[in-house]
Structure 1
Amino acid sequence: MLDARARELPGTSGLPLAEAGYRNLVLAPGGGPGRLTVAADLAVRVAGYDEYPVVYPRRLTLARADGRRVEREESASGPPALWDFGGGQAAQGAHCLVLGLADGPDPAGLLAVGERAAPAVSAVWGAGWAGRVLLELPATEAQFARLLGADPAGWTGMAAVTVAAPGAPRHTPADRVLINPEAYGRLSDFGRQVVVTHETTHVATRADTRAWTPLWLSEGVADWTAYRDSGRQPRQIAPELARDVAAGRLPTGLPADRDFTAGATGIAQAYEQAWLACELIAHRYGPDRLVAFYRAVGAPDGEGADRDQRLDRLLRAELGIGQAELTRLWLAEVAALNG
């Protein structure tokens, strides 16, 4: 009975699912007379995008009559699935798949942006990733926050975020980019392309990004990839930082991880500072050296190591300068924004 339900999950008729099934069924407390409550893992794999099934813990209420039909199904823990919000629709191209809701925005426009983003990312990061991106487009900002399992107040201005698919092994190409339809909708066409290319870079670099990778580097390379070849000048790419510099408010060092927290004061400047650091490396030493440095930082030997000492050593090995010299050069670039 549950196998049949998995094949016809409510809300998924418009979505390209390669497989869906319930596993690890356990009787749970509650249910009442004539009913059973079951805890189960719903495993779903999107055709052409997921190497491993995405796992959603579920709670099902079964009626003993009528072949133990499912009377109710809900998320047991963690974020819900997109189709929990209603019927789905999808748009698919050569490099991108957009999963949306029937009562939400038309996914076609977002698909066109994703189709441009994936090849642009591959041009920098090569063929070591799947070369395609899965975007989820809920209908409202509140749904976006629920898919993140986050407080909506902290994500009001965030247009998109990359998340690891629940239940998949670490460092597998099962990432999703969640789109905030309201914040994304307020962006210009150029801004939308930057956002999606930025997030696609996170998908492409997942295997080279670890807990010890500084956020100024991971967010910086994502923005650098997104703005690459855009023709924009530094003051156009970093307007908030340029205004701070003009007002005499200069940073003293590269942004800390905490500066990138959603809702943090000065988060826009943190992203712009990170972009400028990676732009400096790419311009002075070449894009290939930036990519090599990034991958060296994400190598497994970083686990348990002193992050600053290791970063200094890798900078010297890959670029020929230490962290103090990089910071000095970067501060000069920051000051030049006032020129």
Structure 2
Amino acid sequence: MVRLADPGAGPAPEPAPAAPAARRGGLSRRAVLLLVAGGAAQLSLPRLAPPAPRSAAPAAQDRAAALLAAHAQALRTGVLAELDLAELGYRVTGLTAGEVRAELDYRLRGFDDYPAVLQRSLAWDGTGALGAESAQPGGAAAPWDLGPVRPVRGARCLVLGPGEPGDLSTVAGAADQAVAAVSAVWGTGWPQRLVLQLPSTEEQFARLLGVDPGGYQGIAAVTSAAAGAPVRTAADRVMLNPEAFRQLSAVGRQVVVTHECTHVATRADTHPWTPLWLSEGVADWTGYLDTGRTARQIAPELTRDVAAGRIPGALPADADFAAGSQGIAQAYEQAWLACDLIAQQHGRPALVALYRGIGAAGPGAGRDAQLDAQLRAGLGYGLAEFTQRWQAWTERQLAPQA
């Protein structure tokens, strides 16, 4: 997750005493990368495990499976005909009185190498037709749960949502621009395509994630991706929070989409041992690249801290990026500055190589030891010196202007 000042809001004001985040004036945006192996928005790889054992009488199981197959066909040829689905199918995972529980796989032609997977619940009386369908408790909603799906295709993207076509087209334009910008930095060895979802309300945004809406207020976008999966496998999704997203300037919206696109492009190189300051930092750094925004505009919270003599003592820990953490805004700004330091002093290729090198190195004996080794190999000095250089860089970039 990253929280940044809206880069389109104009010149950064001189630092002033900070107000509580919930009451602070001006716009901010947050984005989050969900690296999932299952759960809220599971994005699948080819199944290696055998199907779950039958949990009901074979006749009932077979009847439910047949009804689900017919239901899938009706969806594909009916309300979902515009989606151009390469795959849509259900697999029974459980039967109880009045309910069929199933795993839904769907794959978008031209965008998904493997399907997105959702956990579904359908009403059933045990013999007749299926009834209402919904996400299982705590599960993510399907795009069509929110209302009519109006797909808008760009040159390199597909935008889904129940909103106005003009809004979806605007997102598609930003996504196409993001793909080009990200490929210019990270290369073309990723699929160079995006699937984005734009719901109508913040409540719908939370339903797409299967989360409590209260925990995601102010977050403008979420990328769901399977961490470390091969480049051409997982069905990545970018979900936009319409209420937060629409408050941003045009530049701010572009930064958000480019940030999320970076997560998609770097997903195969992102692992549990990748420090969050690096994964979120490179996404922000790529998002802000060539926007013309200054460090003081990009990092207003940290600018206030530096003016007050508070220089960060260490690179942000993973816990600093958790929703609700004290100093969450500064953590994201510190991450951007760390990546900006590498790019400015060693070149953009060095930043890309460091990111990929950390991913390829594996967990090793410990994260800090691996990071130290990769910094020495790529930059010529270790973690302790990098931290000192970053502290000096932060102070120099954000110091009060004369």
Residue aligning to 1:110: 171
Query: 1:3 Cα shift?
Result: 2.6
Mean Cα displacement is larger for which, 157-166 or 233-242?
Answer: 157-166
In the superposition, the TM-score normalised over structure 1's length comes to: 0.91
Is 1:86 aligned to residue 147 of structure 2? yes
Conservation of the 8 A alpha-carbon contact between 2:225 and 2:267:
no
CA RMSD of aligned residues (A): 2.2
Mean Cα displacement is larger for which, 150-159 or 326-335?
Answer: 150-159
Residue aligning to 1:164: 225
Letter in 2 for 1:313: A
Is 1:21 aligned to residue 89 of structure 2? yes
Conservation of the 8 A alpha-carbon contact between 2:375 and 2:381:
yes
Query: 1:80 Cα shift?
Result: 1.6
Higher relative contact order (CA 8 A, sep 6+): 2
Tell me how far apart the structure 1 counterparts of residues 165 and 310 of structure 2 sit (CA, whole Å).
42
316, 321, 326: which one pairs with 1:255? 316
Is 1:53 aligned to residue 120 of structure 2? no
Query: 1:39 Cα shift?
Result: 2.3
Query: 1:12 Cα shift?
Result: 2.8
Letter in 2 for 1:332: A
Mark the CA change 1:103 to 1:95 in structure 2 (over 3 Å): closer, same or farther: closer
- Unpaired runs of 5+ residues, structure 2, are 1-66
230, 235, 245: which one pairs with 2:291? 230
Matches within 5 A, 1:142-153: 142-153=203-214
Letter in 2 for 1:52: Y
Conservation of the 8 A alpha-carbon contact between 2:343 and 2:351:
yes
Residue aligning to 2:132: 72
Mark the CA change 1:294 to 1:26 in structure 2 (over 3 Å): closer, same or farther: closer
Mark the CA change 1:165 to 1:18 in structure 2 (over 3 Å): closer, same or farther: farther
Residue aligning to 1:34: none
Tell me how far apart the structure 2 counterparts of residues 332 and 212 of structure 1 sit (CA, whole Å).
26
Mean Cα displacement is larger for which, 68-77 or 132-141?
Answer: 68-77
Tell me how far apart the structure 2 counterparts of residues 106 and 198 of structure 1 sit (CA, whole Å).
19
Conservation of the 8 A alpha-carbon contact between 2:201 and 2:242:
yes
Query: 1:165 Cα shift?
Result: 6.9
Tell me how far apart the structure 2 counterparts of residues 225 and 115 of structure 1 sit (CA, whole Å).
15
Residue aligning to 2:192: 131
Is 1:322 aligned to residue 382 of structure 2? yes
Residue aligning to 1:338: 399
Query: 1:280 Cα shift?
Result: 0.4
Conservation of the 8 A alpha-carbon contact between 2:321 and 2:331:
yes
Identical-residue share of aligned pairs (%): 56
Aligned to 2:197, what secondary structure does the other structure show? strand
Is 1:286 aligned to residue 347 of structure 2? yes
Aligned to 1:134, what secondary structure does the other structure show? strand
Post-superposition, which runs of at least 4 consecutive aligned residues in structure 1 deviate over 4 A?
Answer: 102-105, 168-171
In the superposition, the TM-score normalised over structure 2's length comes to: 0.77
- The count of residues paired between Structure 1 and Structure 2 equals 329
Query: 1:170 Cα shift?
Result: 6.9
- Unpaired runs of 5+ residues, structure 1, are 32-36
